[in-house]
Chain A
Amino acid sequence: MTATWAGQRARPGTVGTGTIRADAIPKSRGDFAFSSDLYADGMLWGATVRSRYPYARIKSIDFSAAAVMSGVRCVLTHHDVPGRNRFGLEIRDQPVLADDAVRYVGEPVAVVAADHPEIARRAAEAVAVEYERLDALTDPRLALSGVGPDLHDGGNVVAHHRIRKGSAEPAADVVVRGVYHVGTQDQAFLGPESCLAIPALDGGVELYCSTQWLHIDQDQLADVLSLPLDKVRLTLSGVGGAFGGREDLSVQAHACLLALRTGRPIKMVYDREESFFGHVHRHPARLEYEHGASADGCLVYVRARILLDGGAYASTSRAVASNAGCFACGPYEVPNVSVDSYAVYTNNPPCGAMRGFGAVQSCFGYESQMDKLAAELGLDPVEVRLRNAVGTGSAMATGQRIDGPAPVAELLRRVRDMEPPAPADSSTCDDVLMPGGAANTTHGEGVRRGVGYGVSVKNICKSLGYDDYGTARVRLSISGGEPVAEVHTAAAEVGQGLTTVQAQIVRTELGVRQVVVVPADTRVGDAGTSSASRQTWISGGAVRAACEAVRDRVLRIAAATLGAELSELWLADECVRSERTATDVPLAELLGSTNVDETRVFRHRQTFPLDPETGQGDGHVAFAFAAHRAVVDVDTELGLVRVVEIACAEDVGRAMNPPAVEGQMHGGIAQGLGLALMEEVQVVDGYIQNPSFTDYLIPTTLDMPPVRLSILEIPRDDSPYGLTGVGEPALLSCPAAVVAAIRDACGIDITRIPVRPEIIAGCA
């Protein structure tokens, strides 16, 4: 039944063609409604009272002064949570509103609703919370060692994953060791957390919000609100970026509580500072590595011990720690492996999902080690990687054989063989393009160029036996004499272009021109999360399956109507075509007022949990790979870095919408460059020091260099259209490549990202 799609690839708006996003013009005109843009008559504004301490017992909450302020409608504390006062993605350990204790600075303690956001903010300030301060546990190494208070029942070790493969005492000719650190990165999506909650006549609530996964929000909210699922109805609003930071609940429960209590619509919008406290961050990591290799540069063993600071609540720490461990050896053949990865509770800000999900931290560690090994052996850094690169059929550290494409060597060669950027020439070069940029700190003196490489691997889709699926409903009807296909999923468009891909799939499968993508909501079945680079694969697979079901029914209707054999009919150009009689029957004529409406669920192949002692098993659906080459100019006196160019090669399986794939890669590279050089949530004794775009710097147009992409399309045989996930890989090894280039430029060892100028300048 592939007749409709063969030969029709080039039709505009179908799979594989560059397709303009349907939301691009509304977004450009300012007509697209983000969750922060929503409005309802009579709506009130919510504001949050947050903990000022990293760890304290709550002795009392006095909101009498706030409650009597003019314009204040209600103040709620944990006493007002009708259901279970806990939420969380893996373990429901996080209070919606703190009850007995607060465990991080910024933890929500109470919420307020008022007529105006400024009144709400002032009322929140007027809520008097009496705390008894406790000694905060902010050092993850102490948390791991068992020293200090238990922040949760069961102790402070949230996760410990082991991988043991091969011999415990392997012999190697050369050994390199290193300890590496990765700072806390923020997703810094541009649209702050926001939502509109509207109380419904049936006692339920309608929530319009930004999220990555509507159904998991619904599930947690129903328990918090003590409502049946069908009374907690969510609709996705415009989402201003996500990158993992919208997997956990933020404003959702608070707004629903206030709406149900006041009987009025509640709007909540964080400002940028509150946003830094309002979502989880990328786990900061400490990575101890030991690599052993033979004299010819083949890896003999890898030992690693990875410690992630999960902060005050679990969020996705278990899965992140598992990923950090599973990919601790990188895309290399390693016969003997011993890895321990841990996540711990501390009184630091909670950490969870961010693009790359544990694989980013490990990549900085193992790629730093590969460069060290190359130096030790006097080998070229690319060569040592090529000698060890996995390919199809290789075993990962978990013992899983890679049965899909694994063109690691090809990706490396591609970035290596790209034309290098022109050398810096201070006579012609704009000073803005020098390290230090517009600050005009050098005219080229003290500037050295360096080149570095990185290669990486990450799992695509959910892992370790999780039953992951997506649901799609497709409805074909005739409207105004034309066939119109409507596609409805709960899959979150967070900026990646999913809505457009869904429409491309429908056009490809049904051959119709008009496709309407219905807003994502919980009226349709679960789509799973827009994370793990999985949504185009999973929800795309569901949309394709639903289209196939629609097509099948249309052809059956045609066979019955025309008295034809099913096998001789196919869909093309909005007609049913009969091969035997060479006739076309327009869909409009055939269907008339009949609607063909089908819902399908799509699952990827099954995965399995890893053995708890050895970490061995077929835990992953697929592996994706990327390679980077970074070229930098470093002002060795001031320690300033100018990235001259980043090249990235990635296998995407099938580029569903090529410009969108490029856009994902560009964006991932920018976030990787940010992590390498400038982005860090600085936390001292549990307090965030820089919760603003003044002090938390993300790359600007002047920080980003020209980027060169090389996109491979090696189709998979187990995914829709052969695609693989593209959201994450282009970030993974970008920081490692940038740091390798800095080391190459100035010959010093760098073990921590983001790299600080004082380290490069040797004055730290």
Chain B
Amino acid sequence: MRLSCTVNGQRRDIDVCPAESLLFALRERMGLPGTKNACEQGECGSCTVYLDGVAVCACLIAAGQAEGGDVVTVEGLADDEGPHPVQQAFAESGAVQCGFCTPGLIVAVHDVLSHSPRPTDAAIREALAGNLCRCTGYEKIFDAVRSAAVRMSAEGKRR
């Protein structure tokens, strides 16, 4: 079956099998493996992408549901000037170890900060409760979120 949608600002027309998830279509059919597949059951958040502006687990979305939609993945957040402040903050805060959780967290944090530019620590914990990380114990991820919030407000960036 045919899927037409916009991914990271580019129009894509591809063939998918009906049972495939958006995650599979992105990773295996569109050459965008940045979005990760740690559980494929909606439990870990490593596959978080935007679909029509809403952060979703791509493993829980059938590829066909993205028909006509606007998808933004972790690969679509940086611009010509370089990494997005959230990405920069993760790197500089030591929030990345193995990095398998990182793409999903980057999108999730991007989403949190676009709704709530200066979240409290409790709000950060709550907002990221659906993103599992096995390496960092989350401490430096929280540091990264706080640092990204400061950077983004300094740069006047919302998205």
- Do A and B assemble together? yes
| Distance from B31 Cβ to chain A, minimum over Cβ atoms (Å) | 8
In the complex, are the beta carbons of B100 and A20 less than 8 A apart?
A: no
Q: Mark B32-52, 1 if CB is under 8 A from A, else 0.
A: 111111111101101000000
In the complex, are the beta carbons of B100 and A240 less than 8 A apart?
A: yes
Cα separation A718 to B80 with both chains bound (whole Å): 48
Q: Is B74's beta carbon under 8 Å from chain A?
A: yes
In the complex, are the beta carbons of B100 and A272 less than 8 A apart?
A: no
In the complex, are the beta carbons of B132 and A698 less than 8 A apart?
A: yes
Q: Is B124's beta carbon under 8 Å from chain A?
A: yes
Within 8 A of A (CB), among B76-131: 77-78, 83, 86-88, 90-94, 96-103, 106, 122, 124-126, 128-131
Q: Is B137's beta carbon under 8 Å from chain A?
A: yes
In the complex, are the beta carbons of B137 and A272 less than 8 A apart?
A: no
| Distance from B80 Cβ to chain A, minimum over Cβ atoms (Å) | 13
| Distance from B3 Cβ to chain A, minimum over Cβ atoms (Å) | 16
In the complex, are the beta carbons of A30 and B37 less than 8 A apart?
A: no
In the complex, are the beta carbons of A28 and B90 less than 8 A apart?
A: yes
Known: A28-B106, A702-B129. A430 touches B100 (CB 8 A): no
Cα separation A497 to B73 with both chains bound (whole Å): 26
Known: A24-B91, A28-B87, A694-B41. A704 touches B137 (CB 8 A): yes
Chain A, Cβ-Cβ closest to B73: A30
Given pairs A34-B100, A667-B136, A693-B38, 17 additional interface contacts (CB within 8 A): A27-B99, A33-B33, A34-B99, A36-B36, A189-B98, A190-B132, A239-B98, A240-B98, A240-B99, A241-B100, A272-B41, A663-B137, A665-B137, A667-B97, A701-B124, A701-B142, A702-B126
Cα separation A544 to B114 with both chains bound (whole Å): 46
- For B66, the chain A residues whose CB sits under 8 A away are none
- For A34, the chain B residues whose CB sits under 8 A away are 33, 36, 99-100
In the complex, are the beta carbons of B99 and A238 less than 8 A apart?
A: yes
Cα separation A241 to B138 with both chains bound (whole Å): 15
Q: Mark A102-129, 1 if CB is under 8 A from B, else 0.
A: 0000000000000010100000000000
Cα separation A27 to B105 with both chains bound (whole Å): 11
Q: Is B151's beta carbon under 8 Å from chain A?
A: no
Q: Is A579's beta carbon under 8 Å from chain B?
A: no
| Distance from B71 Cβ to chain A, minimum over Cβ atoms (Å) | 13
Within 8 A of B (CB), among A645-685: 659-660, 662-663, 665-671
- For A430, the chain B residues whose CB sits under 8 A away are 122
- For B75, the chain A residues whose CB sits under 8 A away are 29-31
| Distance from B132 Cβ to chain A, minimum over Cβ atoms (Å) | 6
Cα separation A21 to B140 with both chains bound (whole Å): 14
Contact partner of B37 (CB less than 8 A), chosen from A32, A36, A671, is A36
Chain A, Cβ-Cβ closest to B44: A693
- For B102, the chain A residues whose CB sits under 8 A away are 27-28
| Distance from A26 Cβ to chain B, minimum over Cβ atoms (Å) | 8
In the complex, are the beta carbons of A190 and B98 less than 8 A apart?
A: yes
In the complex, are the beta carbons of A190 and B133 less than 8 A apart?
A: yes
Residues of B within 8 A of A (CB): 17, 19-20, 27-28, 31-41, 43-44, 46, 73-75, 77-78, 83, 86-88, 90-94, 96-103, 106, 122, 124-126, 128-142
- For A662, the chain B residues whose CB sits under 8 A away are 94, 139-140
- For B39, the chain A residues whose CB sits under 8 A away are 271-272, 692-693
Q: Is A427's beta carbon under 8 Å from chain B?
A: no
In the complex, are the beta carbons of B125 and A701 less than 8 A apart?
A: yes
- For B28, the chain A residues whose CB sits under 8 A away are 39
Known: A33-B33, A238-B99. A118 touches B19 (CB 8 A): yes
- For B46, the chain A residues whose CB sits under 8 A away are 190
Q: Mark A694-719, 1 if CB is under 8 A from B, else 0.
A: 10001111101011000000000000
In the complex, are the beta carbons of A694 and B43 less than 8 A apart?
A: yes
In the complex, are the beta carbons of A497 and B97 less than 8 A apart?
A: yes
Known: A27-B102, A28-B83, A693-B44. A663 touches B33 (CB 8 A): no
In the complex, are the beta carbons of B83 and A29 less than 8 A apart?
A: yes
| Distance from A353 Cβ to chain B, minimum over Cβ atoms (Å) | 16
Chain B, Cβ-Cβ closest to A27: B99
In the complex, are the beta carbons of A191 and B96 less than 8 A apart?
A: no
- For A187, the chain B residues whose CB sits under 8 A away are 134
Q: Is A504's beta carbon under 8 Å from chain B?
A: no
In the complex, are the beta carbons of B34 and A30 less than 8 A apart?
A: yes
Q: Is A10's beta carbon under 8 Å from chain B?
A: no
Chain B, Cβ-Cβ closest to A693: B43
Contact partner of B74 (CB less than 8 A), chosen from A30, A660, A665, is A30
In the complex, are the beta carbons of B35 and A707 less than 8 A apart?
A: no
Q: Is A383's beta carbon under 8 Å from chain B?
A: no
In the complex, are the beta carbons of A663 and B97 less than 8 A apart?
A: yes
Cα separation A666 to B138 with both chains bound (whole Å): 8
In the complex, are the beta carbons of A243 and B17 less than 8 A apart?
A: no
Q: Which of B41, B91, B99, B125 has the most CB of A within 10 A?
A: B99
Cα separation A20 to B131 with both chains bound (whole Å): 23
Cα separation A700 to B131 with both chains bound (whole Å): 7
Q: Is A380's beta carbon under 8 Å from chain B?
A: no
Cα separation A668 to B97 with both chains bound (whole Å): 13
Known: A24-B90, A190-B38, A663-B140. A432 touches B134 (CB 8 A): no
In the complex, are the beta carbons of A701 and B96 less than 8 A apart?
A: no
Cα separation A31 to B87 with both chains bound (whole Å): 12
**Top 3 A-B pairs ranked by shortest CB distance?**
A30-B34, A495-B98, A27-B99
In the complex, are the beta carbons of A192 and B38 less than 8 A apart?
A: yes
Cα separation A531 to B129 with both chains bound (whole Å): 30
Cα separation A699 to B132 with both chains bound (whole Å): 8
Known: A190-B134, A694-B41. A666 touches B140 (CB 8 A): yes
In the assembled complex, 16 residue pairs joining A and B whose CB atoms fall closer than 8 Å, in A order, are A21-B94, A21-B96, A25-B88, A29-B74, A30-B106, A239-B98, A241-B97, A430-B122, A494-B98, A495-B135, A660-B94, A663-B137, A666-B138, A693-B43, A693-B132, A704-B137
Within 8 A of B (CB), among A1-38: 18, 20-21, 23-25, 27-34, 36-37
- For B126, the chain A residues whose CB sits under 8 A away are 432, 438, 701-702
In the complex, are the beta carbons of B134 and A702 less than 8 A apart?
A: no
In the complex, are the beta carbons of A20 and B91 less than 8 A apart?
A: yes
Q: Which of B28, B38, B73, B75 has the most CB of A within 10 A?
A: B38
In the complex, are the beta carbons of A23 and B37 less than 8 A apart?
A: no
Chain B, Cβ-Cβ closest to A271: B40
In the complex, are the beta carbons of A669 and B78 less than 8 A apart?
A: no
